[in-house]
Structures are given as C-alpha cells and as structure tokens.
C-alpha cells in the first residue's frame, strides 16, 4: 500500500492531508493519535516537548513541525518510539516537582495523561527536586512553577492573543524558567486577568484559577473518563469537521 498526492501513510494506514498541514494535524483530523504536549491547535507549532517524535521515511522528525507531503511513510506506533516517549515524559517528571496527589490539575493534566498513556510506572531517573517558586500574589490566579514544562503556551497566548506579554521564558538549559513582566516579578503586579487566554491555556497545573477546588469529582475528570489518546483525537476530529 502506498500514499497518494493527498494521503500519507501512518503506520501503513493512509491518512488524508491538506496542503500546508503538519503531519500531526493531518493525523489528529484523521482520527490517528500521535502523542503531543506543547502543541495547541490555536497556536503555531512549538516543537519543544518532542513527545510527537516520529520516524518519517526512515528519518527522525517532530510530527507537529513537519509538513505532510506526498510519499511520506510515518511510523508512530513502534516499540522504540513508545520507549522514547515514555523516557521523555519521565524526564519532564524528574525535572520539576510533579506531585500529583496534591495538584488541582490532576485528572485534567496533559502531562499526567500522557504518562498514563505511555505506562510510566515510575519517573525512573534521579529526581532533581529543583527549588521553584509559587506565586500566589494575584487575586484570582495561582502560579506554581514546580509544574512548568516550558511549553511557552502562556507566553504565546499572553503576547499574541491577550496583547499583554505577561510571561517570558528566561535562562538557558536546566535553568530555563518562566518570568513575569513586572518590576517585582510577581503576577499580582501585572495587568493579568483571569479572563485572559493565558490563564486557561496551560496544559499542566502551573497556572491555576484560585478558589476552584475539586469542582469535578475524582472519577469524572476529563482523563478519568477516557485516555488522552482517545480524547485528543475525538476533539480534533470534531473540531476539524
């Protein structure tokens, strides 16, 4: 079986694509799940998490960043790639302080859901236990940088949608961290609002709305109900239709 001018092969199954679509977008729209974390349908590809790593015609690629093109044979569901994705999630877990039992985002968290999906039984690597701040200065929104995965969705949303540029990513390497645009560095001293796009775009529990706790019972949260692999494609298919 081979692809055509308008289809690519993903794990040997033809999947249609439109010109200009990335492999990830084509896959999700076609009901094929490729794990992803820093990707958001309303924003340009970021390419940092590397959870969407695939093999295209024998070469490694990020599905979110590579445009679909005729002749592509994409491998997604292979033991090697599964293992890489699990290791990448483990790296994200040990890099921060991801304590799920105490996190309001648990059950609704894309990092956690991906970890379940990749059967991460343990973060495995030596925990870094970094010292990261919590910023509770804003009346309505809590920032817990222990959980930040540096996807920069908050940065992009605040800059490009809210027009406020409240967040930026500073530092290099493991010292990378989000900073806040105020002389004090605190969110409470900015014009950030709970109505901002940036307040609702975080895939993990780094940006949380205050005074919302256990609003959804355990067992009925988004990823309690279905695995992220099903939820993501269901949403994508619905959205593109």
Provide the binding-site residues for another protein, judged by CB under 8 A. 45, 47-51, 53, 60, 62, 65, 67, 80, 84, 87-88, 91-95, 97-103, 106-107, 112, 115-116, 119, 121-129, 131-132, 150, 165, 167-176, 179-181, 183, 218, 226-227
Report the alpha-carbon distance of residue 107 to residue 37 in Å, rounded.
15
Residue 230 token pair: 């099903």
Listed in sequence order, the residues at least 6 apart from 208 whose beta carbon sits closer than 8 Å to its beta carbon are 104, 105, 141, 142, 144
Give the 3-state secondary structure of residue 240.
helix
Q: Which two tokens stand for residue 192?
A: 């950030």
Toward another protein, which CB reaches closer, 52 or 236?
A: 52
Q: Specify the residue, 16 or 47, whose C-beta has the smaller distance to another protein.
A: 47
- Give the nearer residue to another protein in terms of CB position, either 128 or 210: 128
Pairing of strands 7-10, 73-75: parallel
Sign of CA dihedral 241, 17, 228, 206: negative
Residue 137: CB atoms within 10 A of its CB come to: 17
Nearest CB to another protein, comparing residues 14 and 67: 67
What b/e string do you get for 180-193 counting C-beta neighbours within 10 Å, with b at 16 or more?
Answer: bbeeeeebbebebe
Instruction: Give the nearest distance from C-beta 241 to another protein in angstroms.
Output: 26
Q: Which is nearer to another protein, 7 or 112 (CB)?
A: 112
Pairing of strands 141-144, 207-209: antiparallel
């Amino acid at each position: 079986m081979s692809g055509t001018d308008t289809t690519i092969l993903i794990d040997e199954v033809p999947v249609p694509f439109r010109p200009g679509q990335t492999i990830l977008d084509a896959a999700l729209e076609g009901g094929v799940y490729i794990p992803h974390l820093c990707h958001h349908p309303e924003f340009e590809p970021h390419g940092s998490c590397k959870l969407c790593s695939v093999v295209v015609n024998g070469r490694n690629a990020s599905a979110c960043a590579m445009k679909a093109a005729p002749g592509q044979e994409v491998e997604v569901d292979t033991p090697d790639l599964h293992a890489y994705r699990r290791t990448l999630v483990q790296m994200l877990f040990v890099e921060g302080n991801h304590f799920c039992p105490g996190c309001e985002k648990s059950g609704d968290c894309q990092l956690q859901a991906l970890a379940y999906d990749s059967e991460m039984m343990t973060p495995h690597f030596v925990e870094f236990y970094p010292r990261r701040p919590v910023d509770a200065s804003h009346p309505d929104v809590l920032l817990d940088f222990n959980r930040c995965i540096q996807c920069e969705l908050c940065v992009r949303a605040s800059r490009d949608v809210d027009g406020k540029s409240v967040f930026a990513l500073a530092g290099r390497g493991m010292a990378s961290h989000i900073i806040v645009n105020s002389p004090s560095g605190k969110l409470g001293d900015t014009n950030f609002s709970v109505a901002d796009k940036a307040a609702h775009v975080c895939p993990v529990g780094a940006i949380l709305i205050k005074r919302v706790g256990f609003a959804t019972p355990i067992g009925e949260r988004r990823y309690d109900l279905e695995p992220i692999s099903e939820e993501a494609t269901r949403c994508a298919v619905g959205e593109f239709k």
